[in-house]
Amino acid sequence: MIAAKRKARLKTLAAELLQRGSPQVTVLEVNVGSEDSIQNAFAEIDASGDPLDVVVNNAGISNEEMALTLPTGEFDELMAINVRGVWLVAVLAARRWQASARGGSIVNIASIQGERVMAGITPYSVTKAAVVHMTKSLALEWTRYGIRVNAIEPGYIHTEMTDGMWETDYGKALIKRIPMQRPGRPEELNGLLLLLATEAGSWMTGACVPVDGGHLCSSL
């Protein structure tokens, strides 16, 4: 089951997955900023009759504005999507696993900004630090139910969100701070995701692991 806000993009992805051999793909149109939308998505999952095994909290937004000029509404939106949305999805999944005495795995997508900071994206960094701490706290609380909660902390990845940045002076300067001297590719997160989602990572919970080309260990 794949879920996101833009249904047209989901349908394209679903077609690609079916072409690659997935036996079934269900598209769920979800806005994680809306509790009703999340509740409706879980109702569809329940109605499918298929057991829920893994939840990946990947929805997120960013902003670029100094804290002194940031409108309060933008701060609220970042918190609603990046923190409250992660919380609601995780809790609704965990309640089902607890009720059925069936464990599961939650993988949150945090960021290296949850560990270090940069001027101009303070609210985003705050949200990702919250996801890191939420991951560890929920892991501690839910391990008794067989629920594992871990997080991936991506560095700068070449995605649609960052597409136009890498040829700018700012982007080129940023690349110089990455020990591997390049942004990452989305598929370079796959190995860690599979580890955390499957029994290969069965003794891992509360782990927040960077995948960043060495960015976090670069010199200040």
**d(C-alpha 66, C-alpha 139), whole Å:** 33
**d(C-alpha 104, C-alpha 4), whole Å:** 21
Q: Establish whether 156 is a catalytic residue.
A: no
pLDDT in tens, 151-178: 999 999 998 878 888 889 989 999 999 9
**d(C-alpha 93, C-alpha 142), whole Å:** 11
Fold of the domain spanning 53-217: Rossmann fold (3.40.50)
Where in the chain are the domains?
53-217
The alpha carbon of 97 is separated from its chain's Cα centroid by a whole number of angstroms, namely: 20
**d(C-alpha 138, C-alpha 96), whole Å:** 15
Over residues 91-107, mean pLDDT: 97
pTM of structure: 0.95
The single-letter code of the amino acid at 17 is: L
Over residues 119-132, mean pLDDT: 96
Closest of 202, 103, 204 to residue 151, by C-alpha: 204
**d(C-alpha 25, C-alpha 9), whole Å:** 13
The single-letter code of the amino acid at 68 is: L
Sequence-separated (6 or more) residues with CB below 8 Å from residue 1: 25, 26, 27, 28, 45, 48
Whole-number average pLDDT of the chain: 95
Helix axes 122-142, 85-99, angle to 10 degrees: 10
> Is residue 35 predicted with pLDDT exceeding 90?
yes
Over residues 115-143, mean pLDDT: 96
